[in-house]
Structure 1
Amino acid sequence: MILIVDDRPENLISLQKVLQANNFEVDTASSGEDALKKVLKNNYVLIILDVQMPDMDGFEVAEAISGFSKAKDTAIIFLSAVNTELRFITKGYLNGGLDYITKPVDINVLLLKIKTFYRIYEQSRKLNEVQEKLLEEIEFRKLAENKKDEFISIASHELKTPLTSVKGYIQLLQRSLSRDDKTMAENHLAKASTQLEKLNDLIVDLLDISKIESGKLKFNMQSFCADNMVNNAIEMLQQANPDFKINKLGKTNEMVFGDEIRLEQVVINFITNAIKYAPGTNQVNVTINIKDGQLYLSVKDFGIGIPKEQQQKIFDKFYRVEENSNRFNGLGIGLYICAEIIARHGGKIGVNSVIDEGSEFYFIIPTDEQTISEQEEASKTI
């Protein structure tokens, strides 16, 4: 928008009409004081400023504008009928003027100057936008590169840990066999098997990440009993963690449409995390119910909790809660995969947590095929 400043109404009106006829958005001010008030309230691309005005002349107005942080770079064209000497023209440029035009004004010349300025302004604005985007991209790539390096370091450590343990147990197993100590051999074999399971879980997660990134994570959608799925997950984890009591709250006999194996993967992840991040406790509550065509499942622990400011990031790829990153192993991808699975079911995933009181992870998904398809399509367009 252009601001015209002139104390003579006839000059304001005539110039305003010409500029508006050429599709410029125009505002006017009849005094220097009025102009300063408008500059403080509005953003102007260009100010056409008359030099000879009572109370505050154009030079004083320009000097005042240069002191406003929001308007100090606004371009100014001075107009003058009296002060046409070189010293006044020089003063105009020294006060931040883009140009100094003497009256009577050749309107065609003025229009050409304004159009040229607007073209330069638009090019400059676009260049600034490109520069900002490039800087953002560079910064993003530096964050991404740091994340990748951190992930590779963590993944390397996490993969080496169970692998090193397996090697150690195999060596112990060989010694036990050489001593014909069957009981000890079976013990070492069981521990090696546990470490191999951990290694397998890590590899599966890494493969799932790769499939998500390439859009090839497959889902086998069909009707199944959600209650049975949860019971199977609880039974398996209860056997692996006999000292932990996994309480199931709620029950449903209704069928759910979805990928049973993938949803069981989410439940297992929730329960495993609940046990892992709740040292010193001995129980976890798993709640399931179906209401209004939606399956609700939550897993609540009574452990360390998650700071509120980090709860929104917990489902981001490679994110690990800072306070826990050195205390607990993990790649920071399990919950990201869970979030992707729930999104593909047209559902919602979340967490409620209080420090030192525990966390409750939950998901809600529609139970019928049509709603899942509709919500999944809607999420793609957001």
Structure 2
Amino acid sequence: MILIVDDIRANIIALKKTLEIHNIEVDTAESGEEALKKILKTNYCLIIMDVQMPGLDGFEVVKILSGNKRTKDIPVIFLSAINIEKKYIFKGYETGAVDYITKPVDTDLLILKVKTFLKIYEQQNELKLMKDLLSKEIKIRKEAQDNLEIKIADRTKELVAKNEELELKNHELQQFSWVVSHDLNEPIRKIQIFIKIIKELYLKEDAKGVDYVDRTVKAAERMQTLITDLLAYSRLSAKVVPEKTDLNIVLQEVLSDFDYLIERKGALIKTGELPTIDSIPSQLRQVFQNLIGNALKFSGNTTVPVIEITSQRIKTKDFDSETDPEGKFCRITVSDNGIGFDEIYLDRIFVIFQSLNDRQTYEGTGIGLAIAKKIMEKHNGLITAKSQLGKGASFIMILPLKYEN
């Protein structure tokens, strides 16, 4: 089990959800004092610790743990958005932490590190068990004095083989993406199976019901493709081959997914002609899903939510570039008349797990715009936003028409 220690509950919830997606068991504490009480009662294989907390801060907690025989070997990863200077990082390592990560956190890297420490923890337990078994066997052999040297040699050989096996398992950590892919795809496969059963058994005479079921199946299929591509994209060494993509088709698929919500809110969608570009279509679909989904979610009390998607061909890779019918880039704008935001927080909205709104009023994980920015960078593109409180928001994307390495 992993212990997350942070005095800000929103940070705990976001990180806890991220870890639980990967089937990692998590416990939490909202202060250094609470953390120490839990650590004395529970065996944790890893602690993710915020540095700056009221009362006992992260450094003090780790210093106390280092002085205790039972807790001194628990690995600790520091997370900090404030104490990011070298002197604090050095202090973190000096107190006994195994890593010091500054915010905003790259979740892909954090998950990889967490899984590595969990694997090391399992290996240490296996090795400890083997060591205990070996000690007991040696004691028995010494008492019997029967072929002691031969037995020890055989047992040592077995331990060497076991160590080689554990080293092989270490390499398997690099393949964790496959496991993640399976865990995410399995629920989607079940949805597809059950919805098809419903269609065949109960909806044969209901044309509208069949239409909704077919849309659900198609949405699930797109989600499967999205999961596969996003996992491939998350691997630093992975290369996903771009393809010719008609963004009009991508946009219509996204709007089809939102048709129920659009109808319920009485939203007006205005779409201009979008270009055909080299891209990874499932990733750009995710960008449109996040931007249009946010526009619908943050429509506020507007009588008629209006969302407009337009495109211009431009000369240079610049938000203020002049239009050019022969330009090598396109500028796509997604505008709405919703609640908007203060532009002083512009940099913050693209940081993972950051949200400007009350999470109880507006649900969300705080990762949508961070994913959008990462995908735009993957496509050698740019994204920004313009907004005023109560006057809607416009998200502007710059994308090259042709893919270049």
When normalised by structure 1's length, the TM-score is 0.44
Structure number with greater Rg is: 1
When normalised by structure 2's length, the TM-score is 0.42
